[in-house]
């Protein structure tokens, strides 16, 4: 095993767990999730509001975070939140890459991108404006549809991302019954978009 040199950075981690990615382009893949605590974006429909206050969660040295990922067979690590880019993730990315992982980021784009990522899922939120830099770095644009007006909002962001960025519309879980048919009709009319479902919730996968 390659010896990895770490500095002394610690990050607040709400939880880390091995499961299947349930959403977006990489849905269905085994993945080790690292949920970084801390978020000031404040989506009222967020399903992990307990992640918002970083002070409620312990600090973990990056070295130990990477060791935790190495306990599982997955080649994929997903760093999510909260809003993980509230922190400099350069050391975490370096450690995970040196350990042989592909690393994906889930972000609202509201903070500068740090670290080097294999895949960036950009999910913009109305509650905190994304930074301009995220549009050319994103591999996947995932817009949560809570209200019919969100389609127009999604189109505004789609005009700004790079030409290779995958476009996804995802029903907000509590509104899925109301918005699912709307998304189906929209994608049929606008086939450059795809639907993303939270399959882990439908299948009750932790």
The pTM assigned to this predicted structure is: 0.92
Residue-level pLDDT at 8: 66
Residue-level pLDDT at 1: 44
Round to whole Å and give the CA distance between 49 and 205: 19
Which residue matches tokens 């404006």?
Answer: 129
Burial of 180 (0-12, 13-18, 19+ CB in 10 A): middle
Burial of 124 (0-12, 13-18, 19+ CB in 10 A): buried
Domain boundaries, the chain: 10-202
Nearest Cα neighbor of 116 from 142, 99, 95 is 95
Query: Under 8 Å CB-to-CB from 47, ≥6 apart: which residues?
Result: 173
Residue-level pLDDT at 118: 98
What separation, in Å, do the N-terminal and C-terminal C-alpha atoms of the chain show? Answer: 30
Q: Does residue 89 sit in helix, strand or coil?
A: coil
From first to last of its 206 residues, the chain has per-residue pLDDT tens of 445 655 669 999 999 999 999 999 999 999 999 999 999 988 877 878 899 999 999 999 999 999 999 999 999 999 999 999 999 999 999 999 999 999 999 999 999 999 999 999 999 998 899 999 999 999 999 999 998 999 999 999 999 999 999 999 999 887 778 899 999 999 999 999 999 998 887 777 77
Fold exhibited by the domain 10-202? TIM Barrel (3.20.20)
Q: Which whole-number Å values give the CA distances from 164 to 15, 57, 61, 114, 167, in the listed order?
A: 32, 37, 35, 21, 9
């Amino acid at each position: 095993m390659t010896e990895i040199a770490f500095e002394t950075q610690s990050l607040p981690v709400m939880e880390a767990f091995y499961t299947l990615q349930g959403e977006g382009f990489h849905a269905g893949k085994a993945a080790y999730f690292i949920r970084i605590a801390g978020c000031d974006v404040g989506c009222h429909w967020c399903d992990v509001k307990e992640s918002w206050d970083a002070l409620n969660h312990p600090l973990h040295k990056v070295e130990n975070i990477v060791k935790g990922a190495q306990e599982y067979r997955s080649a994929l690590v997903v760093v999510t939140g909260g809003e993980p880019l509230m922190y400099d993730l350069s050391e975490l990315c370096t450690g995970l890459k040196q350990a042989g992982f592909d690393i994906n980021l889930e972000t609202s784009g509201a903070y500068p991108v740090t670290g080097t990522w294999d895949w960036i899922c950009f999910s913009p939120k109305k509650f905190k404006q994304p930074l301009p830099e995220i549009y050319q770095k994103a591999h996947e644009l995932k817009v949560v549809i809570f209200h019919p007006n969100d389609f127009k909002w999604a189109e505004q962001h789609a005009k700004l991302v790079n030409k290779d960025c995958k476009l996804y519309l995802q029903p907000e879980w509590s509104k899925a019954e109301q918005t699912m048919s709307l998304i189906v009709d929209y994608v049929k009319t606008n086939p450059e978009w795809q639907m993303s479902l939270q399959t882990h919730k439908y299948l009750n996968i932790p």
